Amino acid sequence: MYNLVNLKDKTILITGASSGIGQAIAELLDKLEARVILVARREDKLREVLDGLNNQSSCYYVADLSKLDGIEELIKGIIAEQGALDGFVHSAGIGSSRPLKTIKPNILQEVMSINFSSFVEICRCISIKKRYAESGCSIVGISSIASCQGNASKTAYSASKAAMDAAVRCMAKELSVKGFRVNTVMPGWIETAIYEQHMQNTKGSADVEAVRARQYLGVGKPVDVATLVAFLLSDAARLITGASLDVTGGGA
Amino acid sequence: MSEREKLALLEDMLELDEGELSAEMKLEDVLQFDSMARLSLIVLFEDEFGKKIVGKDIDGFDTIGDILAKMEE
Ligand SMILES: NC(=O)c1ccc[n+]([C@@H]2O[C@H](COP(=O)([O-])OP(=O)(O)OC[C@H]3O[C@@H](n4cnc5c(N)ncnc54)[C@H](OP(=O)(O)O)[C@@H]3O)[C@@H](O)[C@H]2O)c1
């Protein structure tokens, strides 16, 4: 049977794989017979996700990616043990909501570190010869439609995601000679812990309601993001690079 | 931290003048207590008291005094 999104035996690194969108990506790629390497901080959750997967050679690594200085060792170790990568998905991130007057430099740095800097650092570490597959490598960052919107309390978050979108355009060009494709996916509201918490915390906000109402196909499920990620990882997307594609049910 | 100091934190957060808030005031009577204030309160607990509160906790606050009590917990 013809399989448009063929990821059989591809080795894909997924950060933020312990819950939400990252977990859904791991589960979908597993169904597509890829081998996934899961990364996040909560080992119990990583183990749970791994236990639900079929591919016996999938595995997890516990790491706090906000500690940027430790990333190079982590990636070197993963590749030494698991081999070169065919793909990398960065779903690790925090959904910071803070009024501007509370975004002190340390807070801005915290959001940028995990949402943006760790992404670039991992890309840097895997873009070195022998760390990526000879046939090339596809990178997908989980950005957010917030990167294109102006929403109250979202200065740090939206800027971190816009930085990611800008970075992939540059890396796509620079790494094209090595056979890399680099893209982001920009989800709108997706039903995960981040979403539930935000809705609770901002109850009654006309601003938040307006954004949600604009997403006229409704709030998405993590798998809605995972399907686009799987497509971008596959050769079916071989002409797509430097792009930021939205999954927003009309809300873009 | 004294009650007055805690009230001052809330006044500062809501950009009210000193002395405008009292423990007996009901939250629904504080006009500035909108959704941005809810986020600001969550952040204030985190930054000033190292405590994590969520929207549900705020729904349970009836008066300013309830917020002050939570700060002490
Ligand atoms: N849900 C939405 O509506 C929505 C919309 C647009 C974009 N997004 C983006 O989608 C991505 C995934 O979010 P989600 O909705 O799936 O929320 P989530 O369930 O909270 O997932 C966040 C993931 O990031 C990991 N993570 C956070 N800080 C980390 C750190 N310092 N080191 C390593 N891993 C870390 C978490 O794992 P540990 O806690 O185990 O470390 C978790 O697996 C985020 O980048 C978010 O901004 C979400």
Cβ-defined contact of A205 to B35 (cutoff 8 Å): yes
Residue nearest to atom 29 of ligand 1 (CA): A92
Nearest to B54 among A102, A200, A206 (CB): A200
Place of tokens 């990333």: A71
Cβ–Cβ under 8 Å, residues B45 and B71: yes
Cβ atoms of A43 and A64 within 8 Å: the answer is no
Rounded CA-CA distance A13/A76 in Å is 13
Distance from CA of B19 to the nearest CA of A (A): 21
Q: How far apart are CA A29 and CA A230, in angstroms?
A: 7
pLDDT band at A212 (very low <50, low <70, confident <90, very high): confident
Q: Which of A60, A61, A132, A157 is labelled catalytic?
A: A157
Report the Cα–Cα distance between both ends of chain B, in Å, rounded: 12
Nearest Cβ partner for B55 among A152, A200, A206: A200
Q: Closest-CA residue in chain B for A208?
A: B35
Give dist(CA A4, CA A35) in Å, integer: 18
The string over A139-176, giving b where at least 16 C-beta atoms fall within 10 Å of a residue's C-beta and e elsewhere, is bbbbbbbbbbbebebbbbbbbbbbbbbebbbebbeebe
Burial, A190: exposed, middle or buried (Cβ in 10 Å; 0-12, 13-18, 19+)? buried
Structural tokens at position A50: 């791994």
Q: What is the pLDDT of residues A59-84, one digit of tens each?
A: 999 999 999 999 999 999 999 999 99
Query: Distance between CA atoms of B46 and A98, rounded to whole angstroms?
Result: 11
Q: Provide the pLDDT confidence category of residue A1 given band limits of 50, 70 and 90.
A: confident
Tell me the CA–centroid distance for residue A143 and ligand 1, in Å.
Answer: 11
**Beta strands A11-15 and A87-90, pairing class:** parallel
Nearest C-alpha to atom 46 of ligand 1 is from which residue? A93
Interchain proximity B39–A201, CB inside 8 Å: yes
- Output the CA–CA distances (angstroms, integers) from residue B71 to A86, A93, A116, B53, B64, in the order listed: 50, 28, 33, 10, 11
CB proximity B25 to A under 8 Å:
no
Q: How far apart are the C-alpha atoms of A205 and A198, rounded to whole Å?
A: 11
User: Domain ranges in chain A?
Assistant: 11-190+221-244
Closest alpha carbon within chain B to A201? B55
SS3 B12: helix
3-state secondary structure of A177: helix
CA dihedral A109, A16, A177, A246 (to 10 degrees): -90
Task: Give dist(CA A63, CA A71) in Å, integer.
Answer: 9
Pocket probe for ligand 1: among A13, A14, A15, A21, the residue whose CB has the most ligand atoms within 8 Å is A21
Say which residue the tokens 């990620």 belong to. Answer: A229
Position A210 pLDDT exceeds 90: no
Active site residue A157: yes
pLDDT at B31 over 80: no
How far is residue A144's CA from residue A245's CA, in Å, rounded to a whole number? Answer: 10
Q: Architecture of B3-72 per CATH?
A: Orthogonal Bundle (1.10)
Q: Is B69's Cβ below 8 Å from some Cβ in A?
A: no
Per residue in A91-149, pLDDT (tens digit) is 999 999 999 999 999 999 999 999 999 999 999 999 999 999 999 999 999 999 999 99
Residue A217 has pLDDT above 90, yes or no: yes
Model confidence at B32: pLDDT above 80: no
ipTM entry: 0.86
The residue written with tokens 């509201």 in the block is: A189
Q: How do residues A146-198 score in pLDDT, each as one tens digit?
A: 999 998 899 999 999 999 999 999 999 999 999 999 999 999 999 998 898 88
Cβ-contact A147, A161 below 8 angstroms:
yes
> Distance (Å) from the C-alpha of residue B54 to the closest C-alpha of chain A?
6
List strand residue ranges (DSSP E) for A128-249, in order. 137-142, 180-187, 244-247
- Does the Cβ of A194 fall within 6 Å of ligand 1? yes
**B56/A200 CB distance under 8 A:** yes
CB contact under 8 A, B43 and A207: no
Q: Is A152 on the interface with B (CB under 8 A)?
A: yes
Query: Which residues face A183 on adjacent strands?
Result: A140
* A202 neighbourhood in chain B, CB within 8 Å: 35, 38-39, 55
Fold (topology level) of A11-190+221-244: Rossmann fold (3.40.50)
Run of H or E including A180: strand A180-187
Q: How far apart are CA A36 and CA A42, in angstroms?
A: 17
